[in-house]
Chains A and B, each alone.
Chain A
Amino acid sequence: MAKVEDRAAAPSASLNDDIGEEMRLRMYRMQVELREAEQRAFDLFLQNLVKGTSHLSLGQEAVATGFAAAMKPGDLSFCTYRGHAHTLARGVAIEKVLGELMQRDNGLMRGKGGSMHLTSVDHGVMGSYAIIGAHLPIACGAAWRAQYKGSKDVAVCFFGDGTTNIGAFHEALNFASVWKLPVIFVCENNLYMEYTPIGDVTAVQHPAADRASAYGLPRIIIDGNDADEVFRAASAAYEKARAGGGPSLIECMTYRYSGHSRADPAKYRPEGELDKWKERDPIKIYRERLKQFGIKESIIADIDADVKRQVDDATEKCKAAPMPPLDILTTDVYADGGWAWRN
């Protein structure tokens, strides 16, 4: 893997530390849920039940988990098209996400948005954005509202390494820094911008962190496959933002197990790279840590079985759900609920 420098504090050796048993069990369950739900999305795609495109987060579960677990209820998530995991991590029901991927009436947006635009305002998921970089400035605006209203809410914006080479990234970083906005920019560096290694198209080694100094921000790179490390880095950034200390940019080193999107078999990766990363699988790391900390194997097995059952239940509900009614084609174009542009 790429070198991880400037690490946050190394995982502690005790169950009863700052993270604690309850949060660790929660984060374990969350990672398993994200893994199982994404794997199911892939299986359903092979059965032609998930339509359109889909961008999976298999292998990147620790990033979504650590950041979501450290959030408070008023905090707002802004995701990319690779947003299933971040949406689920805020507590959105698996059925609502799979239903949207299957373009059913029980989906989060009743099939009107699709896989790339998962949104659940009730859970603080303020949208998933399919134009690279678009949501960084938008997250700034949500942070501006929090700053203006004097609330302690933080806007958290997730994006991939490829996003660091688009203009909106640089506009947003400078803007957030100048306005001292409570926004966290989270780069999930999975080493590939779509099909091309990020290093082939970027002037610096660490596409996000090596740009931080240009915006007056500290260089932060963390192990994105270790949920504890992610949780701690996230907590520190949220605390800084809530205290009026302005934005943070955090580069999380991770790896996606699948291709960029469902059409991509990821043949461009060197042989053995995937296997090497799977040795550092986030769920494997976490399961071993729980065992080291003395959590009984039966508790872990119960969580695994319970999540599997949840995903199975959600899948069955989605398969049984109707397609959306045709009359929603023209609803919600404008705030009056309709699409009228003339009298």
Chain B
Amino acid sequence: MAELTYRDAVARGIAQEMTRDPDVVFLGEDVAKAGGVFKATVGLFEQFGPLRVRDTPISEQAILGAAMGAAMTGLKPIAEIMFSDFFAVCFDYIANEFAKSRYMSNGQLKCPLVVRTGNGAGSRFGAQHSQSVENWCMMIPGLKVVAPSNPRDVIGLLAAAVRDPDPVIFFEHKSLYATKGEVPDGEIVDTLGSAKILRPGKDATILALALMVPRALQAAEKLKSEHGIDCEVVDVRSLVPLDTQTILGSVARTHRLFTVEENPRLCGWGAEIVSIVADEAFYDLDGPPVRITTPHIPLPAADILEDIALPTVDRIAERVKRSLES
């Protein structure tokens, strides 16, 4: 067991898979010699060499297209798109190409690739370098979508993503890169499509993803200590496949549902989950499900504005308390 940052876990996860399988290759902008703009891939170039860890031009379409062509023909590429906001300049590959090629070819083509990307707010970068865009990908048939909240999950879910036969979009949260967590020694391999109950509770279920997970946990502590409200916190971890059973099971026990989403409100991932719960567990609920989200706005750069845009510990706690008391 060792304490590792989320950032170092990324490099360790990639190294674990590249060591295991010589067909795993890695490409992206500034990822090789520079070790990545977030320093999340330091040492990989030195360890695995220039044939397997490759710098690319600023050409996001070329990066994802090349990853797809390599995956179709037998490699297991990991491609980095520096900021998830840049998905907008290479979205054809995500939405039209590697998501659909298996279906359109009646199962002839395969695309076992991983797209890693820096997602989320907190760096005061403004509206084009701060978004949470998991829902852009969640809505596309053919993709799998993962967003780890801690170093151990980074390694385990990245390994699962690399070994998965389908294209996986792997959202790393920029504001989690510096956070630390305990990581066991040796190989770590997790399972896609499994949510995790991080804190059991009986009064309400709070679902969260990535940066919102530590905030939900802190809010739960606050609710317990200040108001005696006992919340269950579930780290959703994987949006596709979605671990519906863990979520429905939790709601069946607590009878209340809250989602904490960093994305702007419309069509956020929580909306789909609330819809599933309304369809399948309506009579388990003692009150309306509540979505706690960023408002329907582009993100501002100024710290005091960005801080009030995202769900905060206080806002989560206040909203849960208000709902349970009404």
Contact = CB atoms under 8 A, between A and B. Distances in A.
A333 interface: yes
A167 B64 CA distance: 14
Given A119-B109, A134-B65, A334-B142, A141 B71 contact: yes
Contacts of A117: 104-105
Given A168-B61, A175-B62, A109 B69 contact: no
Contacts of B292: none
A162 to B, nearest CB: 16
B103 A112 contact: yes
Interface in A124-181: 126-127, 129, 131, 133-146, 148-149, 155, 167-168, 171-172, 174-175, 178-179
Interface string B32-66: 00000000000000000001101011010111111
A335 interface: yes
A112 B62 contact: no
B165 interface: yes
Contacts, number: 164
Contact of A126 (B52, B65, B67, B72): B72
A138 B72 contact: yes
Contacts of A135: 65
Interface residues of B, number: 52
A121 interface: yes
A110 B97 CA distance: 19
Interface stretch (B120-128, B181-189, B241-249): B241-249
Interface stretch (B73-81, B259-267, B309-317): B73-81
Given A131-B97, A341-B241, A137 B109 contact: no
A126 B104 CA distance: 12
B106 interface: yes
A283 to B, nearest CB: 31
A343 B69 contact: no
Nearest to B95: A131
B235 interface: no
Given A134-B93, A175-B57, A334-B166, A339 B141 contact: yes
Given A109-B106, A131-B92, A131-B96, A171 B61 contact: yes
A119 B68 CA distance: 15
A143 B69 contact: yes
14 contacts: A109-B105, A131-B97, A134-B92, A134-B97, A135-B65, A144-B66, A145-B74, A149-B74, A172-B62, A175-B62, A331-B107, A332-B102, A334-B142, A343-B242
